[in-house]
A and B are shown apart, each in its own frame.
Chain A
Amino acid sequence: MSGVETALLAATVESGTGARRRRWLRRYGLAALGGVVIAIWAIAAILAPWIAPYPPDVVNVAGRLLPPSDLHWLGTDVLGRDVFTRVLYGARTSLAVGFIVVLLGALFGTLLGAIAAYIRGWAEEALMRATDLVFCFPPIILAMAIAAALGIGTRNTVIAMLVVWWPKFARLARSLVIGQRSAEYVAAAQAIGFGPSHILFRQIIPNAVGPLVVLVTLDLGNAILVFAGLSFLGLGVVPPTAEWGSMVSEGRELVNQWWVATFPGLAILSVVIGFNFVGDGIRDWLDPHARRR
């Protein structure tokens, strides 16, 4: 092989990997970016007590409403608390609530929907009417009524959100199981003599889990938004706790001290966009049809 040919070959190979890298970036670049954003927030949430420059709820009246500076990167709030510190601590509440609500809601909804679709009959009918019923209410109104009735506090708000959160997963799980239950591998499993619970949990659900994962990821951002909204209305966390929604609420009147409300809001926005990117990425990865678009 002559030197020219080798060089040409090397060039083709190189441009091949370059093109592949570009294609990967085009396809999954945003998802990777979203993953990085969420990872940063998760690390910030876990390490908040060690990396935060100030304590989150020590009142310092002398240093109230200071604009962003070297000492206070994102300024201070009405009570002189460091906004950057409280944004870091707020990540703990928001991420924890988002994961708990969506994972528990998904678990409960999926089990209910999958079982109902698998045993069919009146159970399936009853379940679908129940989900229709919950769908009649916008989550925020029902959650608000429940949160107000149970009393204010993070735990009660999570309970209130769970009451309205499971139906979408029940619906999706039901439609996925219906799509799978007449597949050949199910008949094969029955022929081998596997019991119904083995077939449902070991065969059908693992085969149908993809769209559920996508919904969970996209829904995490949504849960964080709803919880922040309830907190903003005063139905979420109890006051001294740092939480993004209630921080925006504390700064809502302070148009001239814009930093108090702006930064916690940006934090919510970045997390929700992050989960959207990751969810879209997983969907493209799972669905070759959508991938072409």
Chain B
Amino acid sequence: MLRYLASRLCIAVLMVLLATLVIFLIANMVPGDPVLTQLGDIAANNPDMVAAFRHRWGLDLPLWDRYWIFLTGLFHGDLGISIGSQRPVLEDIAQYAPATVELSTIAFLLALIVGLPLGVVAAMKRDTWIDHLARSISLVGVSAPTFWLAFVMLAVFYGALEWAPGPGQISASTFPPPTITGIMLIDAPLAGDWDTFWDAAAHLVLPSIVLAASTLGLITRTTRAAMLEALSQDYIRVARAKGLVRRSIMLGHALPNALLPVVTLGGLAYAQLLTGTVLTESIFSWPGLGRYTFQSAVRLDFPAIMGITLVVAAIYVLVNLLVDLSYAALDPRVSRR
């Protein structure tokens, strides 16, 4: 088990490094030029200023030297300076990450808490109204464009009904709590500030529903299919023949077997939520990594893009690793191999 874990970790680190190389090459081979997006038109026409800008950001060095600088910096825990914000990329990421973690974790929990039971019940009461309802919800969830869903939610619950607060992480009139973790829902209670806590929680409702929609659809659909598959197996017939009550057949026999595909999907879905907040964050003015990614991509802010790539690749690789490990825990046959 330990050897397995060690080799998986090595491969994981290699993959992350390779990912940074790929994004580095893509970002540098395409004919975009950060000089034009950063300097104004007038400055960009002045050769001295362009040369100084290129020298300042190391853009005049050969490609491999620049990647080498990035790598050595990386091993010293330095991701370079963002061209856009003029601050260390690591500081930027540390500042924006908590808001994204908060939003996507809440969205993930929402998708799980609603999606899992909905899928199980839909499979148990197949072809009844509740099954049709579950299938419709998951269909709309995976088919609706995120940005449009966000608009509709804001228009209805903020604009028309005024039930929910508008975009942003907290109201303009609310003071943010002192930063400890950067996650409002944790920092506010730590500071004893429950008003801020409820304000932050209210601001989370709409964006987390919007972000959760497609994951909720996927989880419901997968759970339902996996439950139906499990219910058609012989051991279910045996359990029924033994005279077990329906409840214990469903929850004791079918569900544990149906969970395997759901765990795989769930892990991947969490990674997708963490890295897929770009649209939701830009609509809800959420001060997270998604908005930072978008701004960096538009500005061709290479150091920032590299840093984000590293984080994204690390999240994916880590989640895949966790999924494989949980497989071993859920299915004894895997670890024995």
Which A positions have Cβ atoms within 8 angstroms of B? 129, 132-133, 135-138, 140-142, 144-151, 163, 221, 225, 228-229, 232-235, 245, 248-249, 251-252, 255-256, 258, 261-262, 264-265, 268-269, 272-273, 276, 293
Contact = CB atoms under 8 A, between A and B. Distances in A.
Contacts of B32: 148-151
B275 A141 contact: yes
A269 B148 contact: yes
Given A136-B317, A138-B312, A141-B293, A146 B26 contact: yes
Interface residues of B, number: 49
Overall SS of chain B's interface: helix
Interface stretch (B52-60, B184-192, B294-302, B329-337): B294-302
B152 interface: yes
A99 B300 CA distance: 29
Given A136-B312, A149-B30, A233-B278, A221 B143 contact: yes
Given A137-B313, A272-B143, A273-B139, A149 B27 contact: yes
B31 interface: yes
B272 interface: yes
17 contacts: A135-B316, A138-B272, A138-B275, A138-B276, A142-B23, A142-B26, A149-B31, A245-B145, A248-B148, A262-B151, A264-B148, A265-B144, A265-B148, A268-B144, A269-B148, A272-B144, A273-B140
Contact of B313 (A136, A232, A252): A136
Interface of B: 15-16, 18-19, 22-23, 26-27, 30-32, 139-140, 142-149, 151-152, 154-155, 158-160, 225, 228, 272, 275-276, 278-279, 282-283, 293-294, 297-298, 300, 305, 308-309, 312-313, 316-317
B30 A150 contact: yes
B145 A133 contact: no
A209 B300 CA distance: 40
Contact of B308 (A141, A248, A249): A141
A73 to B, nearest CB: 19
Given A137-B316, A149-B30, 15 more contacts: A132-B15, A136-B19, A145-B297, A149-B27, A151-B31, A229-B145, A232-B147, A251-B151, A262-B155, A265-B148, A265-B151, A268-B145, A272-B144, A273-B139, A273-B143
